[in-house]
Structure formats: C-alpha cells, structure tokens
Chain A
Amino acid sequence: MTRLAHRIALLGAGATLALASFAALAEPARPECIAPAKPGGGFDLTCKLAQSALMDSKALQNPMRVVYMPGGVGAVAYNAIVAQRADDANAIVAFSGGSLLNLAQGKFGKYNVNDVRWLAGIGTDYGMIAVRADSPYKTLKDLMAALKANPSQVVFGAGGTVGSQDWMKSALVAKKAGVDFKQMRYVAFEGGGETFTALLGGHVQAVSGDIGEAAPQLQAGKIRVLAVLADKRLPGDLGSIPTAKEQGYDISWPIIRGFYVGPKVSDADYAFWEKSFKKVMASPEFAKLRQNRDLYPFSMTGKELDAYVKKSVKDYQALAGEFGLIK
C-alpha cells in the first residue's frame, strides 16, 4: 500500500515535472530580436541570421521580428533591457565584440557585464590588415619594417573612432612593430565601406578591419590582406591568407557575434532560448546560413558563453588600460 502510494506520488511528481518543463519550454508569444543599430549593419545581419535559423528550423513557431534600437554600439539597447524590460522573455538582443569592448571601457552607462544574461554566441569574424593590391608592402613584415623606419609614412584607416575595436587592431600592429601607438598616423572613417573606398582611392595606405567586409574587394583582386588576426588560418577560400601569428606577430582579434537577454528572464525561458540555439547551431543548414553572412564558426551558449564574455571584457579592460583609454 505504501509502496503504491509512493509510486503514485512519484508518478504525480513526474507528471508535474513534465508539465512544468513543458510549460517552461513554451516559446515566447512575440519573439523579437533587438538589433542595437540602424537597419543594414552588422547587428541587423546577426538578428537576421538568428531569425532565419530559428524560423527555418521551426525552433520558433511564432514569427520573430527585428526591432532597431541604435545608439553607442549597443549601449542604448543594453540600458533599455536592464532598466525597463529586465524580465521580458520575448526579446533577445544582439551584441558583438565591439559592444563588449565599449562595455569594458565603461561606455555603457552605469551597467556592467554582470547585468544581463549572456545567451548564445553564434559566429565570429576576425580582424585583418590590408593594403591596396599594388602596394609595395607584400607581407606584414614589410609593413612593420616601414612603420618602424618612419611611423608617419604609413597612414592607417579604419571604420572606427580612437578606442574602437577597429582602431585597436591598428594600434596593436603599431605596438608590435615597436612604434608608439601615439606616433602612428590614423584616420577614422564611418564604417568599413568608406574605409575601403579610401584605401582603393589611395587616400590611406593600410586599413584594419574585419575579414568579412574585406571579402568582396579581396575576391576582385583590389586589395591584399597582409594578415588575418586569427589563431589559425581560416577555413575555405581565405585559407591562403597567412595569420599574423605565423609571421611572428602575436595578434589575435576575433569579433564574436551573439545575443543576451534581460537579467530577470526566468530560468525556464532562458533554457528555452538556450536549447533552441543549441539545437539550431548543430545543424548543417545553420553552417551554410552563417557562411553566407561571412561569419566563422563560434558556437557557445549558457554558462560557457557567460564565462567567455566575462573573460573577454576583463581582457579588453586590461588592453584599454594599456592604451590609456580608461582614466
């Protein structure tokens, strides 16, 4: 008798548990992806990638929409989520390595890296250093030697302000060449497109940027990428480009792209999102979608991502300190 009762109780508990987990894994009614930029940028692409991946694979039944909330490489969206929509399970927000760098420099207002729940990293881009196809600098070494001989004969261009991640790459190159980063010549443009136009027009001699945005110019043979700032050579067509590391300069600069949710989103809802992303990212279709957007594999969710993000922010903080960006 007691045994039976025990069994029934167990069964009941199991059922409730099953029911609970079923309820927990119900998807949000109005899922939305917040792209903290104007339409057309990298954040938009990140959201569109999640949108097509989650919807094509039927991980989401309700249509997921993209909401634009530009400002400060994600600062506005970060504040809106933490302050106003902390428990809104509908919204996932795109972030990038650039957002983390700004977060590290305290440019996200009063909030810090512990104020949201980091959800998933879905891809990464890598930094690169490029010159025009007809440039005298054939390798990273040539460029470094020229920089060292006379820092003012090479003008760097990039699509970001001083302190941005595009600038960091130039500054790291100068530093490795043994040149004071304050001595190098640097021109900030608005985004990668303008930067490449300036390079092709001969207004600057070298650019630092992301390999994804360099791909079209590279295919057309208009530019030469001197080094990709990854630990290993890239898979696919771009595998012929040497890394900075193998040329003897230890510079690695991945720019991850991913999502976070509000700090008070329930564990159940967080689990739903995490599970969906995990499932989707394991599929071969996702690999194709990711490749279409010029991104490289970087799949990380939950705790693992949380640790990664926090470590990145710490590293960025140290780096920004070295460059005198944090007062």
Chain B
Amino acid sequence: MDTLGFLGQGFAVAMKPGNLLVALIGSFIGTIVGMLPGLGPINGVAILLPLAFALKLPPETALILLAAVYMGCEYGGRISSILLNVPGDAGAIMTAMDGNPMAKQGKAGVALSISAWSSFVGSVVAIVGLVLFAPLLAGWSLAFGPAEYFALMIFAIACLGGMVGDKPVKTILAALIGLFMATVGVDANSGVYRFTFDDIHLADGIQFIVVVIGFFSVSEILLMLEQTHTGETVIKQTGRMMFNLREMVETWWCTLYSSVIGFVIGVLPGAGATIASAVTYMTAKRLHDKEGTFGNGDIRGVAAPEAANNASACGSFVPMLTLGVPGSGTTAVMMGALTLYNITPGPMLFTQQPDIVWGLIASLFVGNILLLIMNIPLVGVFTRMLSVPLFLLVPGIAAISTVGVYAVHSTTFDLVMMALLGVFGYLLRKMSFPMSALILGFVLGEMLEQNLRRALSISNGDLHILWESPISLGLWLMAGAMLVVPPLLRLRRRRKSAQAIAVSTV
C-alpha cells in the first residue's frame, strides 16, 4: 500500500467515534495542563497514562489520547504566557515576549486567537512533513553527531545575537549566568561533581523546571505586587477576540517559515521546543523588526514561536517512530507507554504495525483540528480568567507553580530553590537583565559544552572534526550569516534613508 492508502486507513482509525471522543477529552485536558505553569506535556502524559491503562483502552486509542494531550499542552502553554506573563510551559517562554505586551494593550483576545491559528498551522506543516519525509529525516538526524550538535548550538547562539538590543553587556551577562548555572551538577563526561558543595540535591544540577518557575513565575508575582501598588492596571480586558484578515496576512509568512524551522529542530533528538521557539522568534525579529515593535506587542512575535513550538512537538515524533529514540522528554514517556502495550517503537514499526503509526499521524491531524475549534471560542473564557480578583489570582499562580515543581521534584530543597531563584530573578528583572537570554543560556549551556567535549574526544583533540561534515560546515556558515547580514542590511537601510533625506533636502 502507498502512503495515501495508509493515511486513509489511519483516518478511518482516528475518526471512529470512540477515538474522536478520546481525542477531544485528551485535547481538553492537555490544554488545561499546558496552561498551568509548571505542569507541561510530560505531566499530562504521565497523568493520563495510568488512566488509559486502567480503562483498558486498546493501544491505538491510548496513543491517540496521549498524542492529543501532548498537542493540547503545546496549545495551552501560550495562554498563561499571554495573559499573565507566566509561561505555561518551557516552549511558551518566547510567546510571552510579545504576547503579554499585546494583552496589556487590550489585545489579549487577538493574541490568543492568532497564536491558536499559528499553532495549528505549525502542527499541520509538521504533520505533512512527518508523512512525507519521516524516513528521510530519520537518516538525516543520524548524521547529527556531537560535532554537528555543537555547530547547531553555535548557530542558535548566533540567532540569539538579535536579543542583545540596547543593553548588550547585561544581555551577555544574563546569558553567561544561564550558561554557568547549567554547569552545576555531575559532569556528563567525566562524572565529577561541579559546584555542588557536596549537597546531593545538586548532584543532577539545578533543575530546568525549578529555574523556569523561579525566574518567570515567582519573580512575576513580585512584579505584579509592584504594579498594583503603583496603580498600574495589570491587563485591560477589552477589544475583539478574533484576529482579522490583515493580521493573518501579516503573520502568514513568518508563521510558515517558523513552522518549517520548528519541525526541523524538533526532529533532532535533544533540541526541542524551547530552542525552536527561541530561534524562530529571533529570526522573525531579525527579518521584520524595522521599527522596534518586537518586544512591545508585535503580532508576528506571537505567531512565530507558537508555530515553531507546535511544529517541533510534532517533529519529535520522527525519531521516536522511526528510530526508537525519544525526541523529547514527552516522547520518552510515550515510548514507555508503548512498551507497556508491547509495541516497540523503532525502525520496524512502520512495517510491522502500520495501523498504529498511521492512526497516530491521522489522530495528530484530527486532534489539531479539534484543538483549533476548541481554542477559538475558548479565547473569551480564558480572558475572563483576568477578572479573578488579584488577591486570589496571585496566590493561585504561586500555589499552582509550586505544584508544578513538586510534581517532578518532590523535595523541599527544590521548592526553596524555586523561591530563592524567584527573588534573584526579581532583582535581575528590576535591573533590566533579559530573562529570556538567561533561560536560553541555561538550555543551550549543557548541550554546548558536552557536545564540544564529546566531539573532541571522538577526534582525540583534533579540532577539524568541528567543521568537517557538510552539515556542520553549513551551520557554521549560517551562524556567520546571522551575525553579519542583519547589520549590513541595517547599514544599507540607513544609507538609503540618508540618501532619501539628502534628496528631499535638495
């Protein structure tokens, strides 16, 4: 049978009423879990897995449920980013950069609906990519060894150069703080403990979720306190709920290329939604930010990262289905689920159990349509969240964020760490250190160092390995272009406008 035949078969599985219902429930729960700061797709999937088992769902239905939850979380994460400036999950950190300013301008509804739309486009692009190129991409992702990953990290950092803005020293220092925090804990190569001060709680390093919640959630409620004290209203809740045609056209191009970039990054095991959304946000900023609107509520700054994080979530299915290697933390949990059903993800899955693979792909598609339909009318409901009085909303954010940390790190140590990082984050934000640079430094830090060292231990110290392969060479060139091209463009623009002024004055 050809691909289309298989896909048709998959849709027949996904469209069964029972499976549709399961997809609907999964999408809804996913959206809620994704929206809650700290709880992300890993929790969503881990929560529903025993349930699927207890209900004795057949394997394809269970997989549909889990995929729907996963996608739902990627949709849900944006909601708290936009409305509260507290990212619902790590992939939605960049969404807050422009989403929250939009909400403050009274355009929360527009931001929510356009991001639902771009999430949908991102997913569809990625699913099409999954259908057409999965086996091809699987081979390609194998070509990524430590040297290639190192080059990819350099490329990502070059993209982030766009963040430097008007406070270069503080941005760089923030990124360095993130890079340094990533070195705490056991060194993945030599096994020695670094900067743990003999405390076993730091043996695995400072935990990502603790950092995200501390820096974004706890510090945010401290800032909220200031804002209310000075009489600044936190968010206005007015205006239309839907984006209009002009806004759709405006975001169309960046949504599309962000989807493609997001998918490609998602395919690589180890990269993932956080990096994908950061890279695309910065790319969009570099390409379109002519008047300094990015960071102040530019609608493209909402569309790009949302398209990317959904595309990357779908992309991470490629290594899972074709190689049997999890592409993200969530797919790792899903692989565990599959083994419980005695299904071994990997190269044989497409031939041995096509109904499961294609049922999953079709249900990803169906799930996304459901999510789009569900999310657009829910925009009104979500924005109403802002009418909860602050004296309940703020402690609610604090409590839910803490639950998010506790769900994966059930120790008082991590909770206290979260609180302390929150205070530190508050001080840094008051002094206008960009938090996004810090968190990306933290994400990229470990991969940057470990892959460099891995590459060098493969080559026994020979530096050539770093740019030997065509992929790494290509990435180095792209990184160079990222650094060189935008300033040149800016120069040319300035010269042009200078000429124009000269002409007009003559």
Direct contact of A and B (CB under 8 A): yes
A34 and B409 CA atoms in complex are apart in Å by 11
The yes or no answer to A39 lying at the interface (CB within 8 A) is yes
Q: Which segment of A6-14, A16-24, A211-219, A225-233 sits at the interface?
A: A211-219
A41 and B335 CA atoms in complex are apart in Å by 10
A40 and B204 CA atoms in complex are apart in Å by 16
Nearest-neighbor residue (CB-CB) of B208 within chain A: A38
Known: A67-B410, A152-B460, A201-B144. A39 touches B189 (CB 8 A): no
Residues of A within 8 A of B347 (CB): 216-217, 220, 222
Residues of B within 8 A of A34 (CB): 410
The yes or no answer to B292 lying at the interface (CB within 8 A) is no
Nearest-neighbor residue (CB-CB) of A186 within chain B: B457
A187 and B45 CA atoms in complex are apart in Å by 32
Chain A positions 25-40 with a Cβ under 8 Å from a chain B Cβ = 34, 38-40
The yes or no answer to A176 lying at the interface (CB within 8 A) is no
Nearest-neighbor residue (CB-CB) of B348 within chain A: A220
Q: Mark contacts of B165-192 with chain A using CB atoms, 8 A cut-off: 1 yes-contact digit, 0 otherwise.
A: 0000000000000000000001111110
Known: A39-B333, A68-B408, A68-B409. A52 touches B200 (CB 8 A): no
The yes or no answer to A112 lying at the interface (CB within 8 A) is no
- A108 near B460 with CB under 8 A, answer no
Q: Mark contacts of A231-263 with chain B using CB atoms, 8 A cut-off: 1 yes-contact digit, 0 otherwise.
A: 000000000000000000000000000000000
Which of the listed residues A79, A108, A294 has the most CB atoms from chain B within 10 Å of its own CB? A79
Q: Which segment of A118-126, A159-167, A265-273, A275-283 sits at the interface?
A: A159-167
Partner of A194 from B187, B269, B335, B346 at Cβ < 8 Å: B269
Q: Mark contacts of A185-197 with chain B using CB atoms, 8 A cut-off: 1 yes-contact digit, 0 otherwise.
A: 1111110011011
- B460 near A161 with CB under 8 A, answer no
Residues of A within 8 A of B143 (CB): 201
Residues of B within 8 A of A202 (CB): 145
Nearest-neighbor residue (CB-CB) of B351 within chain A: A220
- A197 near B458 with CB under 8 A, answer no
Partner of A40 from B188, B190, B332, B457 at Cβ < 8 Å: B332
The yes or no answer to A204 lying at the interface (CB within 8 A) is yes
Q: Closest CB of chain A to B378's CB: distance in Å?
A: 27
Q: Mark contacts of B184-220 with chain A using CB atoms, 8 A cut-off: 1 yes-contact digit, 0 otherwise.
A: 0011111100000010110110010000000000000
- A203 near B146 with CB under 8 A, answer yes
Residues of A within 8 A of B46 (CB): 39-40, 66
- A187 near B454 with CB under 8 A, answer yes
A205 and B294 CA atoms in complex are apart in Å by 47
Known: A75-B200, A216-B346, A294-B339. A197 touches B142 (CB 8 A): yes
The yes or no answer to A178 lying at the interface (CB within 8 A) is no
Q: Closest CB of chain B to A162's CB: distance in Å?
A: 4
Residues of A within 8 A of B450 (CB): 190
Tier of interface size on chain A = 35 or more
Residues of B within 8 A of A98 (CB): none
- A76 near B203 with CB under 8 A, answer yes
- A188 near B454 with CB under 8 A, answer yes
Residues of B within 8 A of A40 (CB): 42, 46, 326, 329, 332-333, 335-336
The yes or no answer to A210 lying at the interface (CB within 8 A) is no
Residues of B within 8 A of A44 (CB): 333, 336
- B408 near A39 with CB under 8 A, answer yes
- A162 near B191 with CB under 8 A, answer yes
Nearest-neighbor residue (CB-CB) of B198 within chain A: A109
Chain A positions 297-318 with a Cβ under 8 Å from a chain B Cβ = none
- A161 near B457 with CB under 8 A, answer no
A69 and B411 CA atoms in complex are apart in Å by 7
Q: Closest CB of chain B to A147's CB: distance in Å?
A: 15
- B200 near A193 with CB under 8 A, answer no
- B204 near A200 with CB under 8 A, answer no
- A71 near B336 with CB under 8 A, answer no
User: What are 24 contact pairs spanning A and B, CB under 8 A?
Assistant: A38-B329, A40-B46, A40-B333, A48-B50, A68-B407, A70-B207, A71-B201, A71-B409, A75-B200, A76-B201, A108-B200, A155-B458, A161-B186, A161-B187, A187-B454, A188-B190, A193-B324, A193-B326, A197-B142, A197-B323, A203-B458, A216-B347, A292-B339, A293-B339
- On B, residues with C-beta under 8 Å from A are 42-43, 45-46, 50, 53, 141-146, 186-191, 198, 200-201, 203-204, 207, 269-270, 319, 323-326, 329, 332-333, 335-336, 339-340, 342, 344-348, 407-411, 413, 450, 454, 457-458, 460
Given contacts A71-B411, A76-B413, A162-B191, 4 further A-B contacts (CB under 8 A): A48-B340, A186-B457, A187-B454, A216-B346
